[in-house]
């Protein structure tokens, strides 16, 4: 009987103790508190998740990285046969009048990223853009551009031929106000807008082919001295720069400059992504951490296992050459 009474009393005290604990403020066990803290600490905000994604890297080696003065939000770049680079973009230009003006600037770099020469091609009060650039068979260069003037107003496109040392050899203008070549408007699409010309091809040694897409687009041929030849109305879906800029690499791989966007934050960034022959992500590298609407990079394969990217970042032009070999 005594043992039974002791057991009964013990159970009673346990029940009383549990009741007292339940009437007080709930307390988390040390383990639970630690777990809760870890869970709250691992929860990312949208901004933190965006920063992490834009900053993640697969550590592709950088063979070259050089900053330059800003050349607009969408610079054009091509890799040259001698291992150097040609870059075109726009900058603010000094003028004799108070009206702000812009200038299209072309810069020639050697393999080490050293500036060999630089030239301003077009000055205007309004919007300027280099639409396409190319190396020509004679060792020179061709630049296709657009100018939208604010004072007149007037829009025109132009093609400039440069020598190997950066001298202007000739320029041909395409006036969108009166049509291409006002003396022969019957040969061309009425109100042809030159900004649809976003592609420049070199055909042989004596012909330049400009093309674009969209309503009123055309394909135009220009000879080696800048004279306008045949113009074919209509464009092609393959001639405009759609989608992310990309370059074909060795072994069927492809490098792409992807724009990552966080719509709810109003932010975007640029990343270089290397895709294998099956289209699967093999490597990636951060480029511009903060971009603006309309920002667009240029990309080009350099030799067998390198890729060059030119882009705008924090008010500067940046050229980076990555090693892509496995």
- Using a 10 angstrom Cβ sphere, with 0-12 exposed, 13-18 middle and 19 or more buried, the burial of residue 127 is middle
Q: Has residue 12 been placed in a domain?
A: no
Shared-domain flag, residues 194 and 255: no
pLDDT at 239 over 60: no
What pLDDT, on a 0 to 100 scale, did the predictor assign at position 135?
Answer: 94
Which is more confidently placed, 293 or 9?
293
Shared-domain flag, residues 295 and 264: yes
Max mean pLDDT among 31-40, 100-109, 184-193, 277-286 falls in 277-286
Give the list of residues 6+ apart from residue 39 with CB closer than 8 angstroms, or none.
Answer: none
Question: pLDDT tens for residues 145-156?
Answer: 887 776 666 677
Q: Has residue 280 been placed in a domain?
A: yes
Q: Has residue 33 been placed in a domain?
A: no
Shared-domain flag, residues 228 and 87: yes
Query: What average pLDDT does the structure give for the chain?
Result: 77
Question: pLDDT tens for residues 240-255?
Answer: 345 789 999 988 999 9
Over residues 77-83, the mean pLDDT reads: 95
Q: Has residue 7 been placed in a domain?
A: no
Terminal-to-terminal C-alpha distance of the chain: 83
- Please state the domain count of the chain: 2
Shared-domain flag, residues 192 and 101: yes
User: CA 171, 177, 181, 182 torsion: positive or negative?
Assistant: negative
Q: Has residue 30 been placed in a domain?
A: no
Over residues 14-35, the mean pLDDT reads: 38
SS3 string, the chain, reads: CHHHHHHHHHHHHHHHHHHHHHHCCCCCCHHHHHHHHHHHHHCCCHHHHHHHHHHCCCCCCEEEEEEEECCCCCCEEEECCCCCEEEEEEEEECCCCCCCEEEEEEEEECCCCCEEEEEEEEEECEEEEEEEEEECCCCCEEEEEEEEECCCCEEEEEEEEECCCCCEEEEEEEECCCECCHHHHHHCCCCCCHHHEEEEEEECCCEEEEEECCCCCEEEEEECCCCEEEEEECCCCCCCCCCCCEEECHHHCEEEEEEEEECCCCEEEEEEEEECCCCCEEEEEECCCCCCCCCCCEEEEECCCEEEEEEEECCEEEEEEEECCC
Last-in-domain residue among 238, 267, 299: 238
Shared-domain flag, residues 217 and 276: no
Shared-domain flag, residues 181 and 117: yes
Shared-domain flag, residues 263 and 172: no
Which is more confidently placed, 35 or 96?
96
Phi, psi of 5, deg, nearest 5: -65, -40
Shared-domain flag, residues 154 and 95: yes
Confidence tier at 56 by pLDDT (50, 70, 90): confident
Torsion of CA 214, 218, 103, 112, to 10 degrees: 90
Shared-domain flag, residues 231 and 274: no
C-alpha span between 102 and 129 (Å, rounded)? 10
Q: Has residue 2 been placed in a domain?
A: no
Shared-domain flag, residues 84 and 222: yes
Domain of residue 270 covers 45-69+243-326
Buried b (16+ CB within 10 A) or exposed e, 235-274: beeebbbeeebbbebeeebbbbbbbeebeeeebbbbbbbb
pLDDT at 305 over 80: yes
Q: Which of 204-213, 271-280, 305-314 has the lowest mean pLDDT?
A: 204-213
What the block records as the tokens of 275 is: 């895709």
Shared-domain flag, residues 64 and 80: no
Last-in-domain residue among 205, 238, 271: 238
Over residues 21-42, the mean pLDDT reads: 42
What pLDDT, on a 0 to 100 scale, did the predictor assign at position 140?
Answer: 93
Q: What percent of the chain has pLDDT over 70?
A: 70
Last-in-domain residue among 184, 207, 238: 238
What pLDDT, on a 0 to 100 scale, did the predictor assign at position 235?
Answer: 56
Which is more confidently placed, 111 or 233?
111
What pLDDT, on a 0 to 100 scale, did the predictor assign at position 191?
Answer: 41
What pLDDT, on a 0 to 100 scale, did the predictor assign at position 175?
Answer: 62
Q: Has residue 8 been placed in a domain?
A: no
Shared-domain flag, residues 257 and 185: no
Q: What's CA 310's distance to the chain center, in Å?
A: 8
Q: Has residue 174 been placed in a domain?
A: yes
What pLDDT, on a 0 to 100 scale, did the predictor assign at position 35?
Answer: 41
pLDDT at 8 over 80: no
C-alpha span between 124 and 122 (Å, rounded)? 7
């Amino acid at each position: 009987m005594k043992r039974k009474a002791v057991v009964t009393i013990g159970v009673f005290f346990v029940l009383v103790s549990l009741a007292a604990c339940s009437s007080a403020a709930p307390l988390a066990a040390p383990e639970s508190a630690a777990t809760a803290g870890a869970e709250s600490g691992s929860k990312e905000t949208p901004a933190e998740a965006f920063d992490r994604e834009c900053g993640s890297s697969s550590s592709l080696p950088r063979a070259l990285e050089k900053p330059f003065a800003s050349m607009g939000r969408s610079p054009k770049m091509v890799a040259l046969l001698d291992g150097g680079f040609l870059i075109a973009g726009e900058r603010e230009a000094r003028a004799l009048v108070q009206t702000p003006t812009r200038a299209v600037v072309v810069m020639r770099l050697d393999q080490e990223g050293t500036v060999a020469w630089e030239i301003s091609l077009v000055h205007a009060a309004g919007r300027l853009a280099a639409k396409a650039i190319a190396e020509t068979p004679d060792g020179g260069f061709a630049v296709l551009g657009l100018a939208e003037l604010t004072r007149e107003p007037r829009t025109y496109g132009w093609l400039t031929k440069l020598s190997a040392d950066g001298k202007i050899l000739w320029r041909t203008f395409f006036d969108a106000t009166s049509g291409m070549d006002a003396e022969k408007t019957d040969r061309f699409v009425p109100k042809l807008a030159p900004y649809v010309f976003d592609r420049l091809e070199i055909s042989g040694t004596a012909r330049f082919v400009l093309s674009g897409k969209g309503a009123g687009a055309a394909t135009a041929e220009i000879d080696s001295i800048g004279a306008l030849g045949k113009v074919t109305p209509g464009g092609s879906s393959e001639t405009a720069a759609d989608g992310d800029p990309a370059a074909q690499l060795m072994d069927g791989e492809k490098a792409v400059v992807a724009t990552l966007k966080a719509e709810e934050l109003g932010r975007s960034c640029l990343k270089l992504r290397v895709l294998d022959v099956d289209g699967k992500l093999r490597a990636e590298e951060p480029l511009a951490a903060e971009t603006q609407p309309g920002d667009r990079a240029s990309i080009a394969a350099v030799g067998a296992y390198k890729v060059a990217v030119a882009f705008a970042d924090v008010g500067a032009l940046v050229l980076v050459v990555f090693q892509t070999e496995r």
